[in-house]
Structure 1
Amino acid sequence: MKTKHIFKPAILSLAVTSAMYAGQTFAQEGNGATDQNVEVIAVKGIRGSLMRAQAIKMDNTSIVEAISAEDIGKLPDSSIAESLARLPGLAGERVGGRTSGISVRGFKEDFTGTSLNGRELIGIGDNRGVEYDLYPSEIMTGATIYKSTEANLVVQGIGGTVDLQTVRPLAAEETLTLTGVYEMGGNDSDNPEFTNTGKRYALSFVEKFADDTIGLAVALATTESPRNERKYGVWGYNANDAGQILPSGLDTQAISRVLDRDTISAILQFRPTDDLDIVVDALSIDYSDSGVIRGFIEPFNADPDSLAGSGINASGTQVGANPVLRTDPAQKDGELQTFGLNVKYNIDENWSVMLDAANSQSEKRDLRGESYAGLARNGAIDEFGTRDFQMSSDGVFFTGSTGLGAFADASQLQLTGPQQWGGGMANIADQFASDVNTVFTDADGNPVPFSYLNAQDGFLNYADFEEELTTVRLETEGYVEWGVINKATFGIYYSDRYKMKDNKGFFATASSYPYSESIPSEYLYNGLADLTWAGLGMVVAYNGFAPYRDGEYTLNDAGLLEPDRLGDSYEVNEEVTTLYAKFDFETEIGDFPVMGNFGAQYVSTDQSSTGYLGIVGSNFAVCDDDNNGVVDADCVLSGGDSYSHFLPSLNLSVEVGDNRYVRFAANKTISRARVDQMKASGFVKFDQNIDLIAIPNTEADVEQYGTPWSKFQGNPTLRPLEANNFDLSFENYFEDEGYVSLALFYKDLVNWTDDARDLINFTNDTTNDGANYFIPGFHDRIIQTSGLYGPANVAYEAGDLATPPDFGYFSYFQDGLKGEVKGAEITANIPLGGFVDALEGFGVAASATFIDAELDNGSPIPGQSDEVLSITAYYEMDGFEIRIAATDRSEFSTYQRGGSNKIDTATRDAITVVDAQISYDFEGSGIEYLEGLRISLQGVNLTDEKEETIDSNGIVTLRREFGPSYMLNFNYSFY
């Protein structure tokens, strides 16, 4: 027989839960009392959402947060990411102006498990983290965030688990909903080929058939969303002898992109009997993010005699200005598909069995071209322009220029590389040998011919990613009478993951080399690009993909020229088998009801990786001794390991008063190491700077002055990150939409991936079978001019041969780093009408998270802000709703796609984002044909918050301005 539970939901909990359904009646069985009928009154809008989320939180024995829509297609935001970012303990990270990443309790999404209806979810990024803005809100009905884990929660992470949820058609009301959104950016596009307007459409429906034994839910959504950005950047700042601080180089662009996303979600549910439930679901997302990055990148030199002011408030004239007008077309295309089958069968009235199987696949190409234009090819002129500038804590701003007016006149610009950036093509120098001389001469006064150094006119940079995940789960659960244990769950879970990255690139040289030609007229757009906001005027706008498309550029494979590019291509495989058991219990201690669960997982892992060690060979090519374009066999690497973990968990909930709970949780969790760190690949790199080559050949001198050598390699044997977690919370539910809570948490990080560095001999690398990487004629240098070289002031005569030191650093990843995280979360949902009748409909939802975290080596945890504050003030009455939300997070460390498609660390400055929404639901308007209509106007980033990185001098080194965006939303439910 079915076990009778000691405890039932309180009247308040039942009323909160019932807000999800209209016109239904629930019965509650008290201790020996007669049944009580509770009439349900449906509450919609933000109040209904808060009530449903509160019910989930209240009735869960684990520590969770939740968001819930009243129906499919009715979450208020453009993606699930924006909704998640407002929850207590969570923080959003903007990528390109849109909230994409989500940190949970200070841990970036790579260290947080993400599932869809309990099933592990993949993304289309470089690592494990899911890009939450990939998932339109129109296909979601809500999400539950587990901050403490349970033994049957197979998708886990140190930060927690985010479980996204789609509708189950037989448990939902039938509906047909059409959504239309008009979007407008607050900033006009600075690039003439783009606009600041976009649109979204969505169609969602739920239908039931065959006496409610078959249900079908389908959501179709399409998005076209613009993003216009102003990026100010410098290469860095340096102080001169007078203490005036000036930039060393410029990197400023106007960026325009458009997100195109088409999504199909379909769920078929078949329940022929009360004992059998079959669900088949499919999700397909096609994704494109295309645009242009257009602006100036160039070194900066100031006329010493022109300088005035002091410190960061210097002014003067930039001289020798030879700007590179870079037009970087960008195209990121990806698709994700997932298919799943879930079958649940009730064996008898106590026991059931569940089988879940799924396959997910994603692929992406992230393409960025570079096309250079300027006054002339490097070496063709020696008279350059000037700019007047003013420095401040906001960086450098230009107030006027001479000799640079050509950048607004296409007839005066050349499609060529103005700077000498072709050094990476040294091993194909013969291809660019020329009898044509530049305007420059060498130290002896001889004319210098054009060479590979002058031959880079662009670069085509792209990476391909593929990922596949297959999962199978078999689980049985049943109601039991084993003392205080009333429910037992046993299961086995298997997952097989494959992820691949192919890092590619091509040096581009114009067909006019060694000369240059004007930009072809057919490449030009109507209108100019606007850089006046940086004091750089109006500039020519042309199609940067065009010279690649029509063969104007000759391309050379950078993968065989740059060892770090080949050394960033890899495959990673993981097979994980998890056995788990969970036991739910109910009892009383004194007069206090006690509920919870305990259990454990045994996780067995087999992981491996294949890749390449990028090394320059004797022919100056990378891993291509035969010059046939095929990677040499001795450059192929592989590795891996097998291991297991035992992960216990305990969740305890004590009702210490009427709707007052104290919850405690203790568990051990793991997060798999970053995929880019688990790669077998690596590279050996050499810096051709003569001052580094001239460093004396001793370990002591290398440790003091540096070295031209470097080696880097991933580690396919890395163990998962591991933490012991403890949580304690107090929750007081005093209204059907009101509660306050205080949660304390502590995470003992017993294993984290550490950065390691060893000094090795690059002529006898003991970490690679004694390999000698030194190549005469490539790694040494004939001195052209007598003098002192390098930081050690080594004296050389003209004609001497300078050879590099043998020693350099080998960087890699290793296990064993430890740390700790201590934090507190304070949350309050306050319906003000419960205190003052005149304030009925007004409310405030607020949270504050404070975290003190650090790894033992002093480095920060990616995604961790010391403070995250969020507040939402709202009013809702008779269909009218207005709300204002603000989230504030302090500075945090993260990582991002950097140069050559590799992962770079970055620091994000503190940011406050303010959103607002006003809407009206016509359901109670009395106008019959409008009763399914809801209209809303939403504004995002209303205060035009900028993302800034500030250096130790207090000067901005990077600033991104995205501007606000506005959305007018029409949502109509036909039934």
Structure 2
Amino acid sequence: MRHGRSQFVHSGRRAALLATAALPLLLASPAFAQDAQPDPAPPVGIQAVAAEEEGIVVTGLRETIQTSIRTKRDQTAIVDALSSQEIGNIPALSVGEAIQTIAGATTHREKGGASEIALRGLGPFLSNSTFNGRDATNGSGDRAVNFNQFPSELINEIMIYKSQQADLVEGGVAGTIELGTIRPLAFGRRRIQAEFKANYSRQQDNVSGDDGLGWRGTISYVDQFELGRAGEFGIALGFQRNDTNNPEDTFAASTTWVACDATRTVLNGNCPQVTAQQVADGTPFYLAPNALTYRQISEDDRRDAFFGALQWRPDPSLDINLDFQYSDRTFNEQRNDLNLSEGQRAIANRVIDPAGFLTSYTGQSSIETVSTLLTRAEEYLGGGLNVEYEPTERLTLRADFSYSRTRRRETERSARLRTDPRDIFGNVTPINNQRIPYSYELGEGFAPIITIDPRFDISNWDLFSDDTRIRRDENFRENEIIAGRFDAVHSFDGPVLRSLHAGVRYARQTYNDYDDRVEINVENPAQERAANLACRVPFQQRDYLDAVDGALHSWATFDPLCLFEQHLGTTDPGPNADVRSVASRDVTEEVWAGYVMASYATDGDVPLPVSGNVGLRVVNTSVTSNGLRSALDVVTNPDGSIRLVESGDFDTVTIENSTTRFLPSANVTFHLQNDLLLRFAVYKAMSRPAPSSLGAGRTITLADGTDFDSIEDAIREIRANGSPRLEPLMSWNYDASLEYYLNRDSLFSAAVYYKQFNGGFIPIVTDELFNIGGQDVTIPVVQTANSSERSRIYGLELTLTHRFAWLPAPFDGLGARLVYTYANSNFENQDIRLGEIFNPVTGVTTPGIIPPANLSGFSENVVSAQAYYQKGPISLQAVYNYRSDYYQDFVGGNNQLRYVRSNDTFDLRASYQFTPNVSLSFEAVNIFDEPKVTDMPVPGSIRQYHYYGPRYFLGVRVRI
């Protein structure tokens, strides 16, 4: 699909896909009454593997749907689930893609796959994700679980708690996502399973020297043993090797945008910037990025994952479980960039959209070819010991100890070559200028058309002759959680009170990171010429951005490691001896939490049976954050004025903060009929800011000039790289859910919710005390803080799941599932540079240049539709997902606003069961090559688009 096709065609395709999946559900409505009857016996075949008193036992996709419905029905809270009793039956390539089929959940897509999860229109930071009931670390610096680290083949249950209950202890404003693996004794039988999947990427096949092929192999073993007097012992082991690729074609603008004065044009420099006050006084403006970049990417991605569980039951009163998980992921990403590095220079002939972004203009910029090799290694290690003891029939004691650690190291080696009035041989270039004229035209599509002066041939290696820069960047992140928990449950025989729960939890989380840069600028023309000639490589991809009309499709590229070798004599100079910087973070968070909860249920002979729970949890959070700022020396000039110079060392900044929150909760379920439930929930919830948002570093920007009357005058501004004083986002929540369980395969549910937030996030200027040159000075610092404003979100969730058992064979194997979520919110997130700024001392708010964003991850409309067919050995499934546009913040905080445009994807899955032990599967992902498009810092202002291409998987599974 080319970007210039009409929106009508695109919307029509979306409507057609949705109608295709929803039509069977509409047809089913007159048959609901019939369908409430017991299921007819299916034809004899592999689907019916055994008969029990409860009816027919099914396998495969239908078994997963039935187990998920049963799990939802059995819970006290408002829950949605994707669950299977079998290993490897979660119907998705990744955990993230599986979660996005659950009601109210949607994903953010990276590299063509599902990654972080948003619940009910609320971003990942408002959700709490756990693995086997425990918080899990990640390498991104936020609190979201990196679902790509865990193979879906080794996950058995995914539960989303929409409402909270006290024994969850922490929970989240949006909900809690719980991933679970099997307990071997509960599995109850021996199972050896091996699965192999080959995958093909058309996009990667276009890369020179690559066939676009990859693979993943999974093997698992579950068994149980009788130990005589020592009781029972169970073991479950699983291993997966995933060797694949993630190609990407993209165009991007920088992550920093400024507001320029639209009344002035500067042809020999950058556009003059305006202040928020000038805009408030009526000065027209336009938005401009620092740079514009075309990027071609090819990637090799490998992951080894190992899961294990040991379960020992010495006697019926004691159950001991030990589980562990390990994941080691590495990828190498080859990037070739064509960079217009001066995006704010000589902007003329402007056409400005009313929102402030440019739809057409001309400019001048140095043009760079940048070749990069990015290597990332990420290791996850987690596990825990859980002990459950029943000293009496009424009392159950549980203790849990867990550990989770993620380490991510990313090394980027890049080499830049830039334009110059002369080529590498000293000849005058056709333009005879370092800066090349170009034009920018946004047009009607999302992809801008950039036309470079035709006199400059971007494919000519000779023209990239100057300002060679060799750069090595390394960033390292380590996140560790050590936690312990103790719970007690006492049961009762009373007519209402059924059990009393109480518990305490302690968790210590540490987050450390650093960013290191080694940069060498080459100023030897002869050396630059020799390296240029030695390291040339052809453009690495056919049909680069062929889906975009008017895009640049190739340019001169070089081998980055060759350029390192030519200029430095080594392919890797290593990091600096001192890797500290003001961007480094050192955060320790300690959490003490306790709860008490009572569960109740009336007897079945009352007119309207009721069940539920009520409880209170208390959470204390203490944060200690150590940050750095560049040490400054005060130099006195001969005339008595002063100037500031960096000493080359750092001063440490330590900021501490502590909060205590009380979180009451209540859940009630009215059993209107045996198959009709009405649930209500009210609770207070909290979501703590990401660890990477709690940095205490301070970036000091000195004022222009060399003579000042005071230290305060010599500093232009100080910006924080985090805000340790950020407090949890609090909300009161009200939920209701009506659930109709037609039969084991069919469900209708409608849920409504309302959340009121006490405070959002806003940039503020607050005074902080600094010691500079032995003098204490107070200087305002720009950072993010909690606002006092109230905001709210309300929404609706509809779920329809139905199998058409009433249709004549063979159509009785048809089924469908449709989930629709609507949300409405008035939350405000201000841009850190261009939004409102509040001064808490003066009480003055400076109006923002651009409007605020909503909640991070907030999408007004989300649709997930599935149509499936399972009959005998055949299983077919079509999955459609749509998500309307949303704001997505950057990990680490204190960044500008970024929006992701609405997107939809369509996937296909099929499998055939040759024998009870052998099956073949086929999957196609993103078959319409839907791009991901982002804007910044206002909607409509294109910042980036990504093309990933479709991917295809062919697999075989053997069970013994």
**Short-chain TM bin:** 0.7 to 0.9
Give the 3 Å change call, closer, same or farther, for CA 607–537 of structure 1 in structure 2: closer
Shift in Å at residue 814 of structure 1? 3.6
Distance apart, 1:605 and its partner CA: 2.6
Pair 1:725 & 2:733 matched: yes
In structure 2, the residue matched to 1:361 is 405
Residue 105 of structure 1, CA deviation: 1.3
Structure 2 counterpart of 1:871: 865
TM-score normalised according to structure 1 size: 0.78
What residue in structure 2 maps to residue 852 of structure 1?
824
Residue 738 of structure 1 is matched in structure 2 by 746
Q: Give the structure 2 partner of residue 271 of structure 1.
A: 313
Identify if the C-alpha distance between structure 1 residues 40 and 756 changes in structure 2 by more than 3 Å, giving closer, same or farther: same
AA paired with 2:318?
A: L
- Structure 2 gaps, min length 5: 1-35, 266-283, 637-642, 830-851
* CA 935–21 in structure 1, closer or farther in 2 if over 3 Å, else same: closer
Q: For structure 1, which segment, 393-402 or 909-918, has the greater mean C-alpha deviation from structure 2 after superposition?
A: 393-402
Select 2:882's aligned residue among 885, 888, 891. Answer: 888
* Separation in structure 2 between the aligned mates of residue 557 and residue 583 of structure 1, nearest angstrom: 58
Q: Does residue 333 in structure 1 map to residue 367 in structure 2?
A: no
Q: Which amino acid aligns with 1:961?
A: Y
Q: Which structure's relative contact order is higher, taking Cα pairs within 8 Å and 6+ residues apart?
A: 2
Cα distance in 1 for partners of 2:329, 2:823 equals: 35
Indicate conservation of the 8 Å contact 2:154/2:307, yes or no.
yes
Aligned with residue 467 of structure 1, among 469, 479, 482: 479
1:766-915 counterparts in 2 under 5 A? 767-769=768-770, 810-814=782-786, 816-834=788-806, 839-855=811-827, 859-896=853-890, 905-915=897-907
Encode CA deviations 1:356-393: one digit per residue, 9 max, x unaligned: 11111111112333311245599986346677886523
Once the two structures are superposed, residues 174-210 of structure 1 have per-residue CA deviations (whole angstroms, 9 ceiling, x without a partner) of 2111111111113245653655321111111101223
* In 1: Cα distance, 2:209 partner to 2:728 partner: 46
Alignment pair present for 1:50 and 2:65: yes
Contact kept? 2:470, 2:564, Cα under 8 Å: no
- The question of 1:712 aligning with 2:731 is answered no
Residue of structure 2 in register with 1:796 after alignment: none
Distance 2:345 2:655 in 1: 55
Map of 1:397 onto structure 2: 449
Partners in 2 of 1:662 and 1:39 — Cα distance? 25
Specify whether residues 808 and 69 from structure 1 end up closer, same or farther in structure 2 by C-alpha distance, changes over 3 A only.
Answer: same
> Where does residue 585 of structure 1 map in the other structure?
600
Alpha-carbon contact 1:120-1:155 (below 8 Å) kept: no
Alignment partner of 1:915: what SS? strand
2:632 and 2:773 in contact (8 A); partners too: no
Contact kept? 2:622, 2:659, Cα under 8 Å = yes
Q: Using the aligned pairs only, state the percent identity.
A: 20
8 A Cα contact 2:191 2:222, kept in partner: yes
Tell me whether 1:224 sits opposite 2:243 in the alignment. yes
Amino acid in the other structure paired with 1:967: F
| Deviation of 1:341 (Å) | 0.8
Question: What amino acid is aligned across from residue 593 of structure 2 in structure 1?
Answer: T
For residues 387 and 208 of structure 2, the distance between their equivalents in structure 1, rounded to whole angstroms, comes to 54
Does the 8 Å contact 2:293/2:337 carry over to 1?
yes
Three-state SS of the structure 1 residue aligned to 2:93 is: coil
How far the C-alpha of 1:319 sits from its partner, in A, is: 8.4
Task: Tell me what 1:967 maps to.
Answer: 953
Deviation of 1:887 (Å): 0.9
Q: Decide whether aligned partners of structure 1 residues 252 and 68 sit closer, same or farther in structure 2, where only a CA change above 3 A counts.
A: same
| Contact 1:580/1:599 (<8 A) preserved | yes
In structure 2, do the counterparts of structure 1 residues 953 and 687 end up closer, same or farther at CA, with 3 Å as the change threshold? Answer: farther
CA-CA distance at 1:415 after TM superposition: 6.8
Q: Match of 1:55, SS?
A: helix
User: What is the TM-score normalised by the length of structure 2?
Assistant: 0.79
Q: Larger C-alpha radius of gyration, 1 or 2? A: 1
How far apart are 1:906 and its partner, in Å? 1.5
Aligned partner of 1:658 in structure 2 is: 674
The amino acid that maps onto 2:113 is R
Amino acid corresponding to residue 274 of structure 1 in structure 2 = P
CA contact (8 A) 1:359 1:469 kept: yes
How far apart are residue 143 of structure 1 and its match? 0.8
**Residues 1:318 and 1:310: Cα distance change in structure 2 (over 3 Å):** closer
Mapping of residues 257-336 of structure 1, within 5 Å: 257-299=299-341, 322-336=366-380
Supply the RMSD in Å over aligned alpha carbons: 4.2
Superposed CA deviations along residues 817-856 of structure 1, whole A, max 9, x for unmatched, are 4321111101110212346666301111011111111226
Q: Which residue of 1 aligns with 2:8?
A: none
Deviates more, 1:946-955 or 1:255-264: 946-955
Q: Deviations over 1:896-926 (max 9, x none)?
A: 369xx98554110001111111111223xxx
What is the aligned length? Answer: 844
For the 8 Å contact 2:79–2:163, the answer to whether it is kept is: yes
Any conservation in 1 of the 2:338–2:555 contact (CA below 8 Å)? no
Tell me the secondary structure at the aligned position of residue 457 of structure 1. Answer: strand
Quote how far apart the aligned CAs of 1:751 are.
4.0
> Structure 1 residue 494: deviation in Å?
1.2
Using the TM superposition, give the Cα deviation of residue 686 of structure 1 relative to its aligned residue in structure 2, in angstroms.
Answer: 4.2
Counterpart of 2:492 in 1: which secondary structure?
strand
Distance 1:873 1:916 in 2: 10
Equivalent residues in 2 for 1:211-250, closer than 5 Å: 213-234=232-253, 250=292
The Cα of 1:540 is off from its aligned counterpart by 4.1
1:944 alignment partner, one of 921, 929, 932:
929
1:187 is the counterpart of 2:203: yes
User: For residue 749 of structure 1, what is the aligned residue in structure 2?
Assistant: 757
Change (3 A) 1:597 1:320: closer
Aligned AA (1:850): Y
CA 1:866/1:945 → structure 2, altered by over 3 Å: closer, same or farther? Answer: same
Q: Deviations over 1:5-52 (max 9, x none)?
A: xxxxx9989x9xxx9996475xxxxxxxxxxxx244221222211110
Within a 5 Å distance, the mapping from 1:603-614 to structure 2 comes to 603-614=619-630
- Deviations along 1:696-751, one digit per CA (max 9) or x if unpaired, are 99x9xx9xxxx953433533233212111111010011121101111011111124
| Matches of 2:97 and 2:70, distance apart in 1 | 21
Q: Confirm or deny: 8 A CA contact 1:715 1:814 kept in the other structure.
A: no
Paired with 1:538 and 1:658, the residues of 2 have a C-alpha distance of 65
Match in the other structure for 1:126: 141
2:395 is the alignment partner of 1:351: yes
Structure 1 residues 94 and 341: alpha-carbon distance in aligned structure 2, compared to 1, 3 A threshold: same
Structure 1 residue 602, shift from structure 2 partner: 2.0
Secondary structure of the 1:516 match is helix
SS at match of 1:732: strand
> Would you say the 8 A contact 1:188–1:228 is kept in 2?
yes
Contact in 2 for aligned 1:867/1:889 (Cα 8 Å)? yes
Shift of 1:578: 1.5
Q: Please tell me whether the aligned partners of residues 307 and 315 of structure 1 are also in contact (alpha carbons under 8 angstroms).
A: no
5 Å-filtered alignment, 1:449-528, equals: 457-510=469-522, 512=524, 516-519=528-531, 523=535, 525=537, 528=540
How big is each residue's C-alpha offset from its partner over 1:105-144, in whole Å with a ceiling of 9 and x where there is no partner?
1222222111111122121212222111121112111211
- Deviations along 1:261-289, one digit per CA (max 9) or x if unpaired, are 11010111111211111111111100123
AA of the residue aligned to 2:516: K
SS of the equivalent of 1:895 reads coil
- 1:141 maps onto 2:156 in alignment: yes
Aligned partners of 1:757, 1:556: CA distance in 2, in Å?
40
CA distance in 2 between counterparts of 1:583 and 1:659 reads 25
Could you say what secondary structure the match of 2:56 adopts? coil
Q: Which moved more, 1:304-313 or 1:952-961?
A: 304-313
Instruction: Give, in angstroms, the shift of residue 810 of structure 1.
Output: 2.8
CA separation of 1:902 and 1:557: change in aligned 2, threshold 3 A:
farther
